[in-house]
Chain A
């Protein structure tokens, strides 16, 4: 399951409530049937959390941090060292095993945070933006390991505002905005639910005027139009193959020169835009 939402949408707050770090101010929450307020210690026994930012371990070495985490979370002694070594090698932390945490790069500290859960292998794993600050190759490695954790039977909850990460990791997605659960479904069903499943992105030579945008919106087959830049337009349409010729004719009639036309299927960004009315990259103001 992936929680998708922009900064400030309440993803981390929700995760911290599930991890029993924060108490909910109202309502209730359960993790695998356990109430987070009434049974917090039992919740923590089945759960592991990789926080958004790994901080506060300044004078410890990565191996020490993982060893402490594995021990306190009850990883059997005979498996502990093997797992730590394997995970550190997989996440390219092995060479940095004897460096102090405060001397690691941002990406390396993030890997240590993720490595804690890969060593622990909890029944319920929470990852808060697991690959922020990590390079592309590292992202792929982390995603593969998170998937592997799911395949081994763990329930995984990932909070992210990265569309690619969500696409790669999600079987189901919950879209959060301003602390509210906007929608929750499988990736495919969320994409299919967008009326006018085809997306046509146009770029014209010069700024688009409002009249032109309105005319595109009135074309047969247009479901919705959004200006995404001064000279760019995104149209959600039915049957793009029939819609595009009409649109090119309209441009010709209005003496508007088309620079490019791109037809794509909806991304999770579009899913977010569809359900919340704003782009995922936009920072929530309140």
Chain B
């Protein structure tokens, strides 16, 4: 276990030295919520306290972006020449992959702590159980998204440009066609079909349910939990399987 913790800490130091990225994420959240969120909440009339709805949606979006960054980060390591070094260290491969997953989770925790606390304070009147369930959902969603990016990384081992293009395109579609900012029942009909294929739809609706939002605006929580679990298990499993086969055939650029 100690080697896993050392790997996580060594990698995390990159982000903390200095912690510019973390602070930038917090500032972005503050500006987005304080300016755009405040303005749009004046315009939206169908949902009471839209600012709270928006804040949760933005935290879910951040979770998605951080988790997909973790997946992409691993691919970057392969091409930067850092992965060969990690692969040469005297630790089993499963520990290396576990450290990547846990490092992503730690990074996620660091980055969303402040935005999440602000959101929870905005909503107020919450129990420890509901907050824990919401946080667990965010992490579960994060694992699924990171797994998705890892599973797609086989493309990067052929062409990083193609991988970047596909991941950027996919991320845009997943975010836009989802319920992160608006409930499914308010979305235009053309958006509903694609939104049901977005993991963010299930992630954001389940988080909102735990945080006490009106259930009539949200998807069935059972379905959401099943979809998120299926996503996390399948993509992480596939990602690790693919990487175990691919990673040792990659030379740094």
Binding site for B on A (CB under 8 A): 12-13, 16, 19-23, 40-41, 44-45, 47-49, 51, 53, 55-60, 64, 68, 71-74, 100
Contact (Cβ within 8 A) B17 A60: yes
Contact (Cβ within 8 A) B89 A56: no
Chain B, interface SS category: helix
Q: Which residues on A sit within 8 Å (CB–CB) of B3?
A: 72
What's the Cα separation between A145 and B89 when bound, in Å? 22
What's the Cα separation between A12 and B250 when bound, in Å? 12
Contact (Cβ within 8 A) B90 A56: no
Binding site for A on B (CB under 8 A): 3, 6-7, 10, 13-14, 17, 77, 80-85, 87-93, 248-252
- Count contacts between A and B, CB distance < 8 Å: 74
Q: Which residues on A sit within 8 Å (CB–CB) of B83?
A: 56
Contact (Cβ within 8 A) A44 B90: yes
Subset of 23 A-B contacts with CB under 8 Å: A20-B87, A20-B88, A21-B248, A22-B250, A22-B251, A41-B92, A44-B88, A44-B89, A44-B90, A45-B90, A48-B88, A53-B81, A55-B81, A55-B82, A56-B77, A56-B81, A60-B10, A60-B13, A60-B14, A64-B13, A72-B7, A72-B90, A100-B17
Contact (Cβ within 8 A) B84 A41: no
Contact (Cβ within 8 A) A19 B88: yes
Given A21-B87, A60-B17, A51–B6 Cβ distance below 8 Å? no
B244 to chain A, nearest CB (A): 10
State which of A21, A23, A60, A74 has its C-beta within 8 Å of the C-beta of B88. Answer: A21
Contact (Cβ within 8 A) B252 A74: no
Contact (Cβ within 8 A) B17 A59: yes
Q: Which residues on B sit within 8 Å (CB–CB) of A20?
A: 87-88, 248
State which of A23, A47, A51, A73 has its C-beta within 8 Å of the C-beta of B81. Answer: A51
Contact (Cβ within 8 A) B90 A59: no
Q: Which residues on A sit within 8 Å (CB–CB) of B252?
A: 53, 55
What's the Cα separation between A246 and B204 when bound, in Å? 91
What's the Cα separation between A44 and B85 when bound, in Å? 11
